Chain A
Amino acid sequence: MAEIAPAYAGVGAHAPNAGALRGDALRERLALLGLSAPAFVLVFVAMVAPVAWLFGLSFLADNGSFSLEHYRRMIEQPSYYRIFLTTFHVSLLTTGICIVLGYPLAYVLSQLPQRAANLCLIAVLLPFWTSLLVRTYAWLALLQRKGLINNWGIELGLWDEPLALVHNLTGTLIGMVHIMLPFLVLPVLGAMRAIDRDYLKAAANLGAGPVRAFWMVFFPLSMPGLLAGSLIVFILCLGFYVTPAVLGGGKVIMVSNQIANDIELFFNWGAASSLGVVLLVVTLLFLYVASRFAKVDQVVGGGHGK
């Protein structure tokens, strides 16, 4: 023991190969950093730089001098207030409907045998494999006054006058829910599949019938997945553009639509930038609040967290 002790006391110059081993460790870390360099560059060029540029633009007046006029306008004009209200309203409704439709769907999938569940999962994911624009226009074809649904409904005598299913909030919600549903189902399903069946057996053994076992054990254990899925859907909804533009018919104006208008109609980059900045800040704020309740890393990890 006495001979070994000095080596632990401190790694001096006399310790064999200490310098060479430290060098090896450093080289390995540098090599690892080198591998992720392309991704860093890409994120910087495509993300950080444009956002910083937008941020700068939002503080410039038309004549190029520093000004807070874009932000002042947002506070003073009630139309902007309405746009943000609409954005949150639509996002909340979409998230709510996705939960009501998606949670039971994920539950059924989680209870099916693996093979059947995977087949059904493909059906859930199928919309991912077609273009967003195609899907949105497909809904337009289905929902419009002379569309498939109105024609069939009238022919079958379910209703007499064509229903206003599109170019309004209803149409926007139908389209957005359809697009967002997989983003809710996948994390919820992941969380449900990670629930050990022995927990439910234990609940039954201790005296809980199926309904109480679900609410007291299964549902709380699936909560992280549900929170993660809801958060993804809600945040994606906040910045959504295509569906409200096509199915909202100009009646549902969300922040993204206003940004497009500012640039396409008024060439006002400053106003568009300030909207973008506010939307970004609000989204980050939501992520922060959510992170107090749920583990946000599980949002990325798909709810498999252990």
Chain B
Amino acid sequence: MTRRAAVPITIRELGKSYGDVRALDNVSLDVRSGEFLTLLGPSGSGKTTLLMVLAGFIRPDHGSLKFGDTEVIRLAPHKRDLGMVFQNYALFPHMDVAANIAFPLKLRGVSAADIARRVNSALEMVKLAGYGTRRVEQLSGGQRQRVALARAIVFEPSIVLMDEPLSALDKQLRELMQIELRQLHVKLGTTTIYVTHDQREALTMSDRIAVIAGGRVQQLDTPRAIYEQPVNRFVAEFIGESSFLKVTRDGGGIRCGGQLLRVATAAAPGGPALLMVRPERLRIVDDAQPETGTRNDENILEARVTEVIYQGDTFLVQAMLADGSRINARGIASAGAMARVPRAGDTVRLGLRVEDTVLVADDGG
């Protein structure tokens, strides 16, 4: 298939209120041409509202929206020419699979021979070749998802929107489809905006993630930066597990539960801050074992173990610092690690590398 060039999306000061509730609070966002950008947020955060404004189904109170250089904020949905995968797929039940996929082509006056050819190649692309004559109700959830995807890309839109398309699938299929969607995006190179509340899905699939809460973009960055350097407590809590420890500043470093820690990031927040500790970034230090002995690029936190939980692939150590704050550490549950795992009541030394010693703004989240 020949593709139209992908276009960037420019969102400026987009606002939408429902009574006193600000669903979108002056959102500005730049989506790069051809990138896979995920809008990630809890329900009610405004991420779906933003997607619906992009698609033209919700009329915002104010703002500007450009696809490439074209202002589209007042354009009717059927003239926006973007592909969309709906949460419940919205496949037309009175048409078979081929007719569903042919629908956008028919509306664009494509010749019958071209329609047949493009429907077939779209079906091949989503690995459903030969399913054209099936009725929608004969398809499994995963197959419907693929048909919806084929329908959204068959007319070669330069922008594709996806509204939690995998949320109705079971876990295994969801993880398979995440990889497939990702590969398809690489192949097509369309600008893709993906909405989800599943942080793992966002981390797996995205070029960049926009974390949205309270109608605002909290942080826009690559998955790794979002995970490792969240700008505030909300982002840190929403993505991954973490413990938050109260700290006081002490010269160049910080003091936490009576222990002095070194901080790597120069970009530590100015206001009140918390130390964010990801459980898997903590290492149980055992000076008797040479390979786990003390390193000099680590901060050491002393804690008393309250409980150890075996979870199959990993084990979780719940512990308490001297000042009573709680902290979790996670390790790979290999046979060697399980043999050395501490017991409740033990005192452990937990190593945290300086680059993982990250302060986040305490926004009260």
A residues near B (Cβ < 8 Å) are: 196, 198-199, 201-209, 212-213, 216-217, 220-221, 223
Contact = CB atoms under 8 A, between A and B. Distances in A.
A199 B107 CA distance: 16
Given A198-B86, A212-B107, A205 B92 contact: no
B103 interface: yes
A204 B90 contact: no
Contacts of B88: 196, 198
Interface residues of B, number: 25
Contact of B93 (A201, A203, A213, A221): A221
Given A198-B90, A221-B92, 4 more contacts: A196-B90, A202-B90, A204-B76, A207-B78
Contact of B57 (A201, A206, A207, A216): A201
Interface centre among B79, B81, B91, B93 (most CB of A within 10 A): B93
Given A201-B57, A201-B77, A202-B84, A207 B90 contact: no
A72 to B, nearest CB: 48
B55 interface: yes
A202 B104 CA distance: 10
B94 A206 contact: no
Interface string B145-188: 00000010001000000000000000000000000000000000
B155 A205 contact: no
Interface in B91-139: 91-94, 103-104, 107-108
A208 B86 CA distance: 16
Nearest to A195: B93
B77 A199 contact: no
A207 B155 contact: yes
A202 B78 contact: no
Contact of B77 (A205, A212, A220): A205
B93 A205 contact: no
Contacts of A201: 55, 57, 77, 86, 90
Contacts of B81: 207
Contacts of B55: 201, 205
B107 A208 contact: yes
A221 B78 CA distance: 20
Contact of A217 (B79, B86, B92, B155): B92
B82 interface: yes
Contact of A199 (B79, B82, B90): B90
Contact of B78 (A196, A204, A220): A204
A201 B103 CA distance: 13
A217 B100 CA distance: 11
